[in-house]
Chain A
């Protein structure tokens, strides 16, 4: 009991100090912000008791501290980019969260940043409820070599492929803009889903992210996904008797992250994307997303939420979905 009082008192004093110095690049009580491998700090304090109910003054201090921590994180990432690429490196902070860095000369930085800004306006304004409180650095390159170099330098386990990658622990995105800008809108989805729906399975997260690989801002203020190159992969599977049985909605609802990534990865990505596109065209994608996110504790596969929103079970959804796919979107 005495220890608990001591912890609360210390926290209150630290908060009072932090509230007066919101621009300090430090975390609570002077501790470093847990952005780079900060999970260990969180684990170490896991046994601490939750904070008691707050009065408005303390609540305001906490809010200010969160904003200060995010700002400090952005500053730290900006300074790191400048140290790495020089002071004249193209650099923009979008939505106060994403630090876009032109990591290779000749990258269409402004176009990419503009696209990111448009997409983030919709993402944060319409799709995702909880805003991340930690910044993300987005390294923009236009060729595979710098992409691989960055992956090797920033990602502990490297990258698969050469288009884009997001490290959940480092909170870094590397995007190869050479093939096209929309890979950026794909990767921006990951940190947002990570915060807003951390229990979302990989197939659903990748399906939403892939949907915006070909973003359509029409009507204005909205964002939808148009058919892209992944459709061809799904169509090919449907045309192949050996793979056709794999293509059904129920397979998605029961697809583990391991299966998604390790077996017929392209096909699984294509299935997820086209399934999300089908739902988006029906105007049910985000209703399904929110229902699943809010009820995931009792609906881990998402089937209940899906049935609640669409009125169909995954089995029942197979026919209309595949018909929609075969019809050519």
Chain B
């Protein structure tokens, strides 16, 4: 695991009296230049929006003068305060998603760091590149700081509320709960002794191995070894816990998937072909039988009736057919039937003879 405190710009790290590594001189200097309000400790620069506009460094008071390095060359100062470089810094900060109310602080910090950098570039292009690098480091450092605050759960302070991002806090909280549970489990099963736990806490709080060794009362090498062993053990426990958790999650998912298998199957199933929209019902005309066909059927029935010597029915069918199809009366078959009816329907009265003896 890379040490986040390793300087990347080649600056020397100054040990603090308590053994902690110090910030680079440029970063430290920027914080002092902006200054803190002695009453609430807030950065005063954040409340002065006009500071970056006049491109004038904050006045150097006699109390802080001894902490500052030599003033930058005038040419370098002019390049740093040029509109080009300042605009570049502002855009870089904006691109990084720094909240609006903190951008002014960033602008000042980066400007100061650029002014007092160890080897100021000789041209505007080099100055722009340096501004870009310093801005990137500032932004990365700020993000690291946010992440640490979330992990250490520093409590309801003004700083935490202002700087911690909600999403990062949430993620860290969940992560921390799991880690704390793993540590608690290790303490219960004896994997982690109280002394090891104390060393881990101290290490987590940022103490060096030497400080921890001094507090716990063991050799620094022992602290280093114990921390490595304990970290390894906790990592294994953590991995086992995660594996169990993943297995349980998979089991639950499998059960859920089994119970919802129909829905899942239908989800992967090819969508059914679109059902054609019901067309409006069109009135379908009744299939009409042509009158000639109807007449033909009636005449066929007449033929059957005449064959059975039912001349009345035969006549009725012929008359009905004639009403439907008068033109068909001259068909040979129809004429034959007509003649049959005429000749036989009153066969018993063959002669229409009148009685004699009149007058």
Contacts and interface: CB of A to CB of B under 8 A. Distances in A.
Query: Which of A59, A168, A210: most chain B CB closer than 10 A?
Result: A168
A159 B352 contact: no
B95 interface: no
A194 interface: yes
A46 B304 contact: yes
A47 B349 contact: no
A257 interface: yes
Contacts of B347: 168-169
Contact of A257 (B312, B328, B329, B348): B348
B142 interface: no
A168 B342 contact: yes
Query: Which of A51, A168, A190, A198: most chain B CB closer than 10 A?
Result: A198
A161 B357 CA distance: 7
A6 interface: no
B333 A51 contact: yes
A45 B351 contact: no
Interface string A220-253: 0000000001100000000000000000000000
A156 B348 CA distance: 12
Contacts of B337: 42, 46
A53 B351 contact: no
Query: Which of B327, B336, B346: most chain A CB closer than 10 A?
Result: B336
Contacts, number: 176
Interface in B316-343: 316, 319-320, 325, 327-343
B328 A161 contact: no
Interface stretch (B170-178, B236-244, B294-302): B294-302
B269 interface: no
Main secondary structure of the interface of B (DSSP, over half): helix
Contacts of A323: none
B101 interface: no
B85 interface: no
Interface in B4-59: none
Nearest to B353: A165
Contacts of A169: 343, 347, 350
Contact of B350 (A63, A157, A164): A157
Contacts of A45: 303, 333, 336
B332 A269 contact: no
A24 interface: no
A157 B335 CA distance: 26
Contacts of B358: 163, 179, 229-230
A230 B359 CA distance: 9
Nearest to A58: B331
13 contacts: A11-B332, A42-B306, A43-B307, A46-B306, A50-B303, A65-B332, A157-B351, A161-B354, A162-B356, A166-B353, A198-B345, A199-B316, A199-B345
In the complex, the 3 A-B pairs of residues with the closest C-beta atoms, listed nearest first: A161-B356, A53-B292, A46-B307
Given A43-B340, A198-B341, 6 more contacts: A42-B306, A51-B328, A63-B330, A155-B350, A155-B351, A229-B359
